[in-house]
Structure 1
Amino acid sequence: MDQQKIMDEIEYYKAQAITELLYTSGKITFDEYDKLTDLNRKTFSPLYADLLPKPLEKSSNQS
């Protein structure tokens, strides 16, 4: 794996952690969380994005 792919992975997980923190603290709605998660995946292209759970499946119990 090259250096850029590693950096993209790290940046994706950072962005997603911030997105989840914003959602769980009530700063953003579920729809905003869903959109940000999709944007994070498109922006940083994590290696296993296809294997990651969709936000709806992961967070639907919290709504």
Structure 2
Amino acid sequence: MEQQKVIDEIQYYQAQKLTDMLYENHLISFDEYDKLTELNRQTFSPLFVDLFPKTLDKSLKKS
């Protein structure tokens, strides 16, 4: 794997973890979470992006 791909993977993981934390702490809505997740995927192009669901169903976790 080339170095830039490894860097993209790490940056995607960090960006998505931050997005998760923002949502879990009720600082962003589910729609904003979905939009940020999509932006993270486009920006960092993780290797397995095609295997990820289009939207993440976190709405069921929060009641």
The two structures have a TM-score, normalised by structure 2, of 0.89
Q: How many residues align?
A: 62
Q: How far apart, in 2, do the equivalents of 1:22 and 1:6 lie? A: 25
Runs (4+) of structure 1 moved beyond 6 Å?
A: none
Q: How far apart, in 2, do the equivalents of 1:5 and 1:36 lie? A: 20
Any unmatched runs of 5+ in structure 1? none
Tell me which protein shows more helix as a share of its residues: 1
Q: Mean Cα displacement is larger for which, 45-54 or 14-23?
A: 45-54
Helix, strand or coil: the match of 1:53?
A: coil
Alignment of 1:1-63 (within 5 A): 1-57=1-57, 59-63=58-62
Q: How far apart, in 2, do the equivalents of 1:11 and 1:56 lie? A: 19
CA RMSD of superposed structures (Å): 1.2
Sequence identity (%): 60
For residue 46 of structure 1, what is the amino acid of its counterpart?
P
